[in-house]
Chains A and B, each alone.
Chain A
Amino acid sequence: MIKFQMPNLGADMEAGTLVEWRKQLGEFLHRGDIIADVETQKGLIEIEVFEEGTLEKFLVKEGEKVPVGTVLALINDGKSEVTESTVSGEEIQKPEIHPIEDRKEIVHENTELGERIKISPLARKIAEENRIDISLLKGTGPEGSIVKKDIEKAISEVKKPIKDAEKEADKTKEISVKPSGPTSDAMRMAVAAAMSKSNREIPHYYLEKRMDMSKAMDWVKEANKDRPVQNRLLPVAVLIKAVAKALDEVPDLNATWENGLHRKNEINIGFVISLRSGGIVVPAILQSDSKTVDEIMETINDIIPRARAFKLRSSELSQSTFTITNIGEGGADKVFGLIYPPQVGIVGFGEISEQPFAEEGMLGIRPVVDVTLAADHRATDGLIGSRFLAALNRHLQNPEEL
């Protein structure tokens, strides 16, 4: 019997609301099937199942909000039996994918979740319709309850236009210390939680290298020449592929730190996407190393619109093993990222711009990019980091081999 749990879809996820079971009892589940929709701080997420078996029992009802790790359902794989005593809706399991908190803390969180949020029925209805996470709102109604007005305020903030100045300020500081930007409270709180944790727990070290992008840009230009617009490449696809190949050579950076370094078998590159409404999401481009540049571009074309519509799948949100932030393309020369726990590294690309560049005694004007690496000093040392940057540079100088 398999205990299917509320997955942890990121370091910033503590709980999720089971919105809908997409499978019925008795149905045979295949690996990769969407079993349920879960509402998180980041929106509605399709939850995949990673095992095969028959859906035996639901332990959590639709509409219930439960902490990460809660057993949601039992899937019968024809193997071991689970006794009643070990199975209950409230059971706290050590989350399988990213065990980020110790047991004691989770129990504590659970008690907090147990406190019912005071909210008017109308406000609850509107919140559900607009996917507002009420757990993060402060009520102004009777007894501090959340009322319609509070929900409407939260909605208007999500939809509020972004002032340019504010956004510029955000960009230079990147994801680490965004000021009170105009975003939904929920999203803001999620980013805040993850980044605070990162800054609190991870001893970062930073490396920086300027890389010549002329060959890569020429290669992209050449590739795009005969393509219809729909199939054109963006330089970022090349960057992602190059990072993936570099990680393949320096596997200690494609890892997580959870009481020790755990290398990951797959290279799933998380790609920071800024939302126009504020906030960020980091979907993973799965198995980036085994995809061609074209395939990566296809993935980007698929994933960005979905990310912006909050329609990412659980694996895309939970399985990244390393992160790229390309936010520099908005104008900043350099980006120093904060690592997304429990990963151990993040690479930041600044704006690709024409700069004087000396090579082999010659000075020329070339498109260059300033690449930074922030890495977890618990997991690796600077040497590993610089080896990674060197590998990355080498791949960018040989785009045709990507």
Chain B
Amino acid sequence: MSFLEDYVHYGGCFALIMVGLYVVLVKSNLIKVIIGINLIDTGINLFLISAGYIRTGTAPIFSGAAQEPGKMVDPVPQALVLTAIVIGVSVLALALSLAIRLHGHYDTLDLRKIKELRW
């Protein structure tokens, strides 16, 4: 049971990253590919947070009552993930605007049909 408790998050995040990578590699619809990138981002965020997790820990916030700083989980991955989430949204928004322009030019989002330049 302890083993499961240690690795359940890692399992989940690697599964997410793999599903995302699979979508990016195999699917040919651009919006599907962007969904894949989004899944990868979520998976990586989960991975970073899991790396900072302590099973007996508390949230890294001092709230009134005296708390032991030694028991808090690692705050740095949380800060990194806050940054990573916003970066992920930025890339996503830009990708979707590109998808809109691409659709305007070709009337399709199927990357196999878009062969102006060689892939």
Question: Are A and B associated in one complex?
Answer: no
